[in-house]
Chain A
Amino acid sequence: METNVEKVKITIDGKEVLVDPGISILEAARQNGIHIPTLCHHPALSSWGGCRICVVEVDGSPKLAASCVTPVRVGVVVVTSNERIIESRRTILEFLFAERNHNCMICAQSGDCELQKLAYELQVDHLTVPALFDEFPTDITSAYLAIDHNRCILCGRCVRACQEISGARVLNFNNRGPHNLIGLDLSETREASTCLNCGVCMQVCPTGAIYDRYRTHYAVKGHDTAWQTTESLCPQCGLMCPAIFSVHDNTVLKIDGKLEADDSRPDRGQLCYKGRFEVLKTIGKRLTRPMLRNGDGTLAEESWEKALDLTADRLRAATRAKKGAAIAGLASSMHSNEALVFFRDLMGRGLGAGCIDTLDGAHFRIVHRAWAGLDMPLKEASWKMIPEADHILIVGADPYQTQPIVSSLIRRTIFENRTKVSVIGQQADLFPFAAHHLPLKEGDASLLIKALLDEATDCGTDDVKMAQAAELVRKLCLSETDAAVFHDIARTVSEASNPLFITVAGLITAADDSGFNSLVHLSRLKGLLPGSTLRLIILKPFGNSSGAWKLGLASEAEPGSKGQATACVLFLAGEQVSDPDLLERLTGLDFLVVISPYIPESLADMADVLIPCPLWIEEDGTYTSLDGTETGYKKKVIEPPSGVRDSWQILSALAERTGFRPGFDTWNDVCKAAQKEMGG
C-alpha cells in the first residue's frame, strides 16, 4: 500500500527511520529490525500493555512507556535498551518468577516457553525478591488441554484470544491484584464450563500454564529448535484452515493455527478442536502390511505383490462374470482430489464399475436434486461471507460438530456486528447468543420450512398465503412460546436485506429432503449474492466432500439401482465404518477389498483383502473448499509407517494389474489431471 499516507519520521536508538503513522513503537522497532522483548503482546491479538516487559524510554521521560501500546509520534525519540530499561525488565521478570511456581524442570512446556527464553535473554539467574507464591489449582478436567495456574503469568493472551479470535468468551480474569486467576465462566472447571476446546488459548499461552494433553513431555519432544515445522492446511472439514505442524522424529507434536496471518481469512487463522486435537487421535490399529483372508477365515499379513495380484484377479473375474453392475467403488470424501480422480477412473473406465459412490453420497443426492430444480445454475455461498450477513438462519445444521470454525465465526459476528442469528434445530454452543431458538422435530422439518417460506416471503402482504402459513403453523402444534419465536424468525428473515442460510443436506435424516428443497427455495427468493451465488451455505460431512462431489465420485442414482454388485472396493481415509446401512450393503459380497490406513474393525469379518494406505498427514494432495470454489494444497507432514505405499501408487499398481491405462504415469500427472478437472 504505497499510498499517499504520510510517513512519520522517528528516532529509534539513534537511528532515524520513516514509519507509518498510527503504528506502535514496538511495530516500528520490529519493522526496522530492532528487537524489543515482549510477553503479553501477540501480533494476532489486540495490544494489552500489561506485562511491561516491552518498556522503552520515550523522549527521555522519567516514566517508561510500554512500546506495544504507545503509538509513534512525529519526531519522537525512542531508546529501546539501556541500563535503566534492562533493569526495569529484569525487575518485572523477577516479579513474575517470584509470583508463581515456575519450575522449568517439571514443566511440559520447557524448551518452548517465552518466559524461559526471556530469562535467558535478560540473563536473570537469581531472584532479588522473595518468592511469594501459594499453591494454585491445576485443572486437568479436559481431555484436550490442562490449565496449571502455577505457571500462569496473567498476561491475558488467552483471555483476549478466547474473545477476539474464537469468540467463545469463556476465559476471563477472576479476583483482583495478586489474587488474579484466569477463570472459565464463573470459576467453573474446564469440563463444566462452556469452553469449546478450540485450544487457541493454548496456542497463544507464552508459558506452560495452558498445555496440550496430547503432547509429550520435553524429555521426549526435545527443544523446539530441534523440530521441523511444515506449513500446510487442515483438510478436516472443507474450510482448509492454514495449519502449522511441528514434527520431531516423524511424530506430530502439535498443530498450530496460523495466527500471524493478516485478516485475509475472517477466522483469523484459528484452528478448532478437530484440527488441533482430534486429528492426533488414533482410532484403531494401523495397517502396515496388506492382509489376505486365509482358508481358515482369518486375516493374515501377506506381501504387497500377492495382495495386489489377488485383488486384480478377483476384480477382473467379477467384471467378467457379471458385466457392468458387478463392481462397486466406494470412497471416503476425506481423500484428496488426486486420489479420488485416480480411484474414479480406475473403477469407472478401468473396471466398468456399476456404481461409484462416496460415503456421503446420500447428502450429495439431496443437494443434487434440489439444484436440478433451480431455474439457473447457482453456486453455494462461502462461509467467509458470514461476517457480512445481517441475519443468519441456521436450519438443522450443527456447525460446531461439522465445521467448528463456522460456529466460531457466527459467535463473533453476533458480538462484533450485532448480527441476529436464528437457530432451528439443536445447537448447544450458540444457545446463549442466538436471538431465536426453535426445536426441529423429526417429521416436522419439511412443514416448518414450508411455513417459514410462506410467512417470510409474503409477510403481511398476501392474505391467502398468510392464511396458508397460519394453517401450516397450526399443523406443527408449536407451543405458544415457540409459535411466537417462529413468527419472529419469519419477520426477521423477511426484513433482512443480506441474510445467509446455513444448513445441511438432510435436515434430520438423510432421506428427508423436502425441507432442504424449501430452504433452497427460500434463500433463492431472498435474492442472489454477486456471481450467481445462492445465500446458502451447505455444511458437508467430510473434509473434501465438495471435491468428491464435483469430481463425480458421488452417485446421482441411488446405489444398487443398477443391480446388486458382487465385488466392492472400499477406499477409506482413516475412518471406521459404523453406518448400519453401509454395513448391510457390504455384507454378502463375493469380494470386498478395503484400502485403509487403519484395520477396519467393523469390516474385519467381511473383508477379503486389506491394503494399507497413508493417512492424510502422510501424503500430498489437493482439497476443495466447502463451497467448491477454492482448491488448496495439503503437504505431506510426516512419513507413512514403513512399508505403506502412497495411495496413487496403490491405485496405479491395481490399474497395471487389471490392464487399465489411466494416463497417469507419475504423481505429477495425477496432480495435473485433478487440477484440470477442478478448474484451478
Chain B
Amino acid sequence: MGNKGRKTIIVCQGTGCVSSGATPTYKALEEGIRKAGLTDIQMKLTGCHGFCQRGPIVIIEPDGVFYSGVQEKNCEEIVESHLKNGQPVEGLFYKDPATGQPIATYGEIPFYANQERIVLARCGHINPEVIEDSIDSGIYRAAPRVFWEMPPAAVIEEIKKAGLRGRGGAGFPTGVKWGFCANVEADQKYIICNADEGDPGAFMDRSILEATPHQVLEGMIIAGYAIGATKGYIYARAEYPLAIKRLGIAIEQAREKGFLGRRVFGSEFDFDITIFQGAGAFVCGEETALIGSIEGGRGMPRTRPPFPAVKGLWGRPTVINNVKTLATVPEIINRGAEWFAGIGTEKSPGTAVFALTGKVANCGLIEVPMGTPLRKIIFDIGGGIVDGGRFKAVQTGGPSGGCLPEEFLDTPVDFENLAKAGSIMGSGGMVVMDESTCMVDLARYFLDFTQKESCGKCVPCRMGTKHMLEILEDICEGRGEPDDLSKLMELADAIKEGSLCGLGQTAPNPVITTMKYFRHEYEAHVHEKRCPALKCKAMLQYHVNQDACKLCGTCKKNCPADAIRGDKKKKIPFEIDVDKCIRCGMCHTVCPVGAVVKTSPGIVNDHEEAAEAAN
C-alpha cells in the first residue's frame, strides 16, 4: 500500500472523523503540502480506522505514525515538522490513558495491537472511492478464482467447512443457508445484503460499507454465484448517506471493470446489485420485513416458514446476509476454510466485530477472535473505564440483548457463551457501563426503543412492551409497587412466548437480564424509592455541603426554579428547598467547588414499615 519510501498521508474520512472535523483537516494538509512545495507526498482519504473517539485521525505511512485529534490548526505543524523536517509531532501522538506515555505508531497502540482484523483489515488503509486501491489491497481476488476454479456447490461447501455463522445476530450457519437456497429451483433468485443496522450505538456495518465497500460487493458476487442469484440488493438505511454514496461509487466502478453486470469477470455468470434505501424502521432489519419493504410494502414481518431461502423477495428464493458475513466471505475463499476455522472457537469460528461504546476510555470499532474474554475487550482494547470509574455492566446485542455484570468479565465472547449468560451476540453493539448507569433506567431506555420500533402487527409485542414500559416508567418515577417486579416477569414471558418475530421475542431481554443480575437496584427503586446510581431524577435530592461551600452564589444564580435560598453578601448559607427543587441538576453542574451533593436518600414506605412492625 503506497510506494516504497514515498510518504502517504492518510486522513480518515469515516463518519466519526468527518463529524469531528476531518474534512477541513484534509484540506488544510493538502494546502500545507502544496504551499511547502512537497511533491513526493501522496494524500489519501480512507474509511474508518475504528478509533473514532480520537478523530480526526491522520496516519503517515510507511512509518505508521498515528496522530489523533488532528484539527485544522494542527496541520501546519505536521507539514512543517514531520513532513518537511522528518520530526514527528509528539504533541499529537496518542497517549496511553494508564501511563500517560505518548505512543508514536498505531501498531503499538493497545487499541490496535490487541485486535485481530480480518473484516476490518483494510479499513482505514485504502481509499474506498478508488477501485484500484481495493484491487491492490487484494479485493476481487477471490471472485474470479471462484468463477474459474469452483463450482457453486464447492463454494457452499467451503463456507460450510469454514463454519462461518451469520454476523447479523442469530448466528445461523451461512453455508447451510446458502445450501437451502441453492437447492430450490427457481427462475430468479436474490441475494440481499442486510445493511439496516439499527441498534442504538452500533456502527459496524456502516463503517465497513464506508471503508471497504468493494469487499462487501465481492462477498455478494460470490454468494450470488453460489446460490444462483443474478440480482443483489443492498438494503441500507437512508440515515447512512456516506455509506450509500460510497456504495454507489463502488457499484459504478465495479460495473466499469466488468465485475458487475453481464458476464462478470468474463464468466458466463450475470450479476448486478441495486441499492435500496430503507426508510429507517428498526424492524426492517428482520428479514421478512426487509423483503416486504423492498417490495414496496410496509415493513412488517411475517411468520416463517416459508423461509426466504425458499420463498423470499417477490416470492423467489432469497438469501439475506449481514454486511460482515458477506465481507468475510472473500477472505475465506482466499485463505481457505481451515485457516478461518482455526480462528476463534470451535463452534464460533472467525472474528467478531464490535462497536465498543459507552463509559470506556477507547470507543471505536474493533475486531477480535471469537472467544476473546470480555475483560480483554473492555480493559485492554477499550482501555478500561473512562475517568477512573468502576465497571458495572456490559450490554451486548442492542435492544435484543442483555446486560452482563462483572462476574462475566472473563466469559469468552461467542454465540453460545453470551446466550448462556442471557444476552446475545447480536450484530456487534457493545455498550460498557459504569456505576453511574441505573440499570432500571437502562432497561426502560431499551424498552422505550423497542416499544417505539414495534411494527404493531402482533399484539404481544405491540401492547406487551407498552405495558412493560409503563411499569418501568413508574418504577423510575418513584411510583413502583411491590408486585411490579413479578408483573414485569409475567409480561416478559408472555411477550417472549407469543410474539411473531425476533423483535418482540427478544424485546424483554434487557429487562430479564437486569432483573436477574441487578435485582437489588429494582428493589431499591420499588421498596425504598431510591436510585443507587443517582440517575432517576424523581428519587434524587440535592443539598449544599456547607463545609465545602464557598458562598459564591453561582448555584442560586443558575437555579431555574428559584429553589435555592441564601445570600452571598449577607453570608447567609445556601440551602436547597427540596419542595421547590425540580432536580434539574443545574446547581450540581455549575458549582465550582463540588459543594452541591446529589443523593438518593429514599423514602421508607409507611405501609411496609407498619407491616414489618406488625410482624
Interfacial residues, chain A to chain B (CB-CB below 8 A): 48-52, 55, 62-64, 66, 69-71, 88, 91-92, 95-96, 98-99, 129-130, 132, 153-154, 156, 172-173, 175-180
Q: Which of B305, B452, B499 contacts A177 (CB 8 A)?
A: B452
Q: Cβ of B497 and Cβ of A50 under 8 Å apart?
A: no
Q: How far is the CA of A48 from the CA of B499 in the complex (A)?
A: 13
- 22 residue pairs bridging A and B, Cβ less than 8 Å apart: A49-B500, A50-B500, A55-B498, A63-B496, A63-B497, A64-B498, A71-B305, A95-B460, A95-B462, A95-B463, A96-B463, A130-B467, A132-B466, A153-B459, A154-B456, A154-B462, A177-B453, A177-B454, A177-B456, A177-B461, A178-B456, A179-B456
Chain A residues near B505 (CB-CB < 8 A): 63
Chain A residues near B457 (CB-CB < 8 A): 48, 50, 156
Given known A-B contacts A49-B303, A52-B500, A91-B494, A178 and B459 have beta carbons under 8 A apart: no
B281 at the interface (CB under 8 A from A): yes
Q: Which of B417-473 contact A (CB under 8 A)?
A: 451-467, 470
Which A-B residue pairs are the 5 nearest by beta carbons? Answer: A180-B456, A177-B454, A95-B463, A69-B303, A49-B303
Q: Which of B302, B452, B453 contacts A49 (CB 8 A)?
A: B302
Given known A-B contacts A64-B497, A98-B463, A176 and B458 have beta carbons under 8 A apart: no
Given known A-B contacts A50-B459, A64-B497, A66-B303, A129 and B452 have beta carbons under 8 A apart: no
B565 at the interface (CB under 8 A from A): no
Q: A49-B458, A95-B460 are in contact. List 4 more A-B contacts (CB 8 A).
A: A64-B497, A88-B497, A173-B298, A178-B451
Q: How far is the CA of A153 from the CA of B496 in the complex (A)?
A: 21
Q: In terms of DSSP, what is the predominant structure of the interface of chain B? A: helix
**Smallest beta-carbon distance A444→chain B, Å:** 38
Q: How far is the CA of A63 from the CA of B467 in the complex (A)?
A: 20
Across the interface, name the chain A residue whose C-beta is closest to B297.
A172
Chain A residues near B452 (CB-CB < 8 A): 176-177
Q: Which of B281, B460, B464, B491 contacts A176 (CB 8 A)?
A: B281
Q: How many residues of B contact A (CB 8 A)?
A: 32
| Interface 0/1 of B481-501, CB less than 8 Å to A | 000000000010010111110
Q: Cβ of B467 and Cβ of A52 under 8 Å apart?
A: no
Q: Cβ of B458 and Cβ of A51 under 8 Å apart?
A: yes
Q: How far is the CA of A91 from the CA of B463 in the complex (A)?
A: 10
Q: How far is the CA of A156 from the CA of B505 in the complex (A)?
A: 21
Given known A-B contacts A50-B459, A69-B303, A177 and B500 have beta carbons under 8 A apart: no
Which of B300, B453, B456, B461 is packed against the most chain A CB atoms within 10 Å?
B456
Q: Cβ of B302 and Cβ of A69 under 8 Å apart?
A: yes
Given known A-B contacts A64-B498, A177-B452, A180-B456, A95 and B464 have beta carbons under 8 A apart: yes
**Smallest beta-carbon distance A124→chain B, Å:** 14
Q: How far is the CA of A143 from the CA of B452 in the complex (A)?
A: 35
Chain A residues near B300 (CB-CB < 8 A): 173
**Smallest beta-carbon distance A507→chain B, Å:** 36
Chain A residues near B303 (CB-CB < 8 A): 49, 66, 69-70
**Smallest beta-carbon distance A66→chain B, Å:** 6
Chain B residues near A130 (CB-CB < 8 A): 467, 470
Q: How far is the CA of A156 from the CA of B301 in the complex (A)?
A: 13
Q: Which of B482-524 contact A (CB under 8 A)?
A: 491, 494, 496-500, 505
Across the interface, name the chain B residue whose C-beta is closest to A153.
B459
Across the interface, name the chain B residue whose C-beta is closest to A98.
B463
Q: Cβ of A178 and Cβ of B466 under 8 Å apart?
A: yes
Q: Cβ of A132 and Cβ of B494 under 8 Å apart?
A: no
Q: Which of A49, A62, A129 contacts B497 (CB 8 A)?
A: A62
Q: Which of A52, A62, A179 contacts B460 (CB 8 A)?
A: A52
Q: Cβ of B453 and Cβ of A176 under 8 Å apart?
A: yes
Q: Cβ of A178 and Cβ of B463 under 8 Å apart?
A: yes
Q: How far is the CA of A62 from the CA of B466 in the complex (A)?
A: 23
Which of A48, A52, A88, A179 is packed against the most chain B CB atoms within 10 Å?
A52
Across the interface, name the chain B residue whose C-beta is closest to A154.
B456
Q: Which of B454, B467, B470, B500 contacts A95 (CB 8 A)?
A: B467
Which of B298, B452, B458 is packed against the most chain A CB atoms within 10 Å?
B458
Q: How far is the CA of A176 from the CA of B463 in the complex (A)?
A: 12
Q: How far is the CA of A91 from the CA of B305 in the complex (A)?
A: 25
Which of B451, B462, B505 is packed against the most chain A CB atoms within 10 Å?
B462
Q: Cβ of A50 and Cβ of B458 under 8 Å apart?
A: yes
**Smallest beta-carbon distance A31→chain B, Å:** 20
Chain B residues near A173 (CB-CB < 8 A): 298, 300, 455-456
Across the interface, name the chain A residue whose C-beta is closest to B456.
A180
Q: How far is the CA of A70 from the CA of B494 in the complex (A)?
A: 19
Q: How far is the CA of A88 from the CA of B497 in the complex (A)?
A: 8
Q: Cβ of B459 and Cβ of A51 under 8 Å apart?
A: yes
Across the interface, name the chain B residue whose C-beta is closest to A156.
B457
Chain A residues near B305 (CB-CB < 8 A): 71
Across the interface, name the chain B residue whose C-beta is closest to A68.
B303
Q: How far is the CA of A91 from the CA of B494 in the complex (A)?
A: 8
Q: Cβ of B498 and Cβ of A88 under 8 Å apart?
A: yes
Across the interface, name the chain A residue whose C-beta is closest to B466.
A178
Chain B residues near A175 (CB-CB < 8 A): 456
Across the interface, name the chain A residue whose C-beta is closest to B457.
A50
Chain A residues near B453 (CB-CB < 8 A): 176-177
Q: Cβ of B500 and Cβ of A96 under 8 Å apart?
A: no
Chain B residues near A180 (CB-CB < 8 A): 456, 462
Q: Cβ of B498 and Cβ of A176 under 8 Å apart?
A: no
